[in-house]
Amino acid sequence: MSIESDHPATGTESGINIKRLVMCYIDKCKKEARIQIEGEEIERVNSFEYLGARIEANGKTTPEIRRRLAMATAKLRKMEKIWKGQDVHTKVRILKSIIFPTATYGCEAWTINKTDSKRITAFE
């Protein structure tokens, strides 16, 4: 598929950086379509990051769940001094306001299997 247009809302005139544009099929069929915009072929990727969440072409969310839990664990480790020095009430507030939202960001779109459920429960 090729898109050619003189319309001012296409390509570089619209502010779209075609070199940074990628496409990802989220489908069980392994389609091999090629899309070109103004003569530039759009790169096809198996995963990409959108609004802070990793989207996989196969639709699985296990890699994203692992990534989010790893990010939350890293934040926990960075706050090591806080965990040793504050009272319990402060620790719980920090956990609920920073760590848990980091771990669960984008969870509305997750497809959770038993293994993922156990991993999330273990993190809590």
Per-residue pLDDT for the chain (124 aa), expressed as one digit of tens each? 545 555 555 544 567 777 778 887 776 666 677 888 878 888 888 888 888 888 887 878 899 999 999 999 999 999 988 888 888 998 899 999 999 999 999 888 888 999 999 999 999 8
Residue 89 sits in the same domain as residue 63: yes
Closest CA to 111 of 52, 49, 63: 63
The boundaries of the domain holding residue 107 are 58-123
For the entire predicted model, the pTM comes to 0.68
Give the count of domains, the chain: 2
Q: Rounded to the nearest 10 degrees, what angle do helices 114-123 and 62-78 cross at?
A: 10
Within a domain: 53 = no
Residue 63 sits in the same domain as residue 30: no
DSSP state, 24?
-
- For β-strands 40-41 and 47-50, DSSP reports them as unpaired
Strand partners, 44: 23
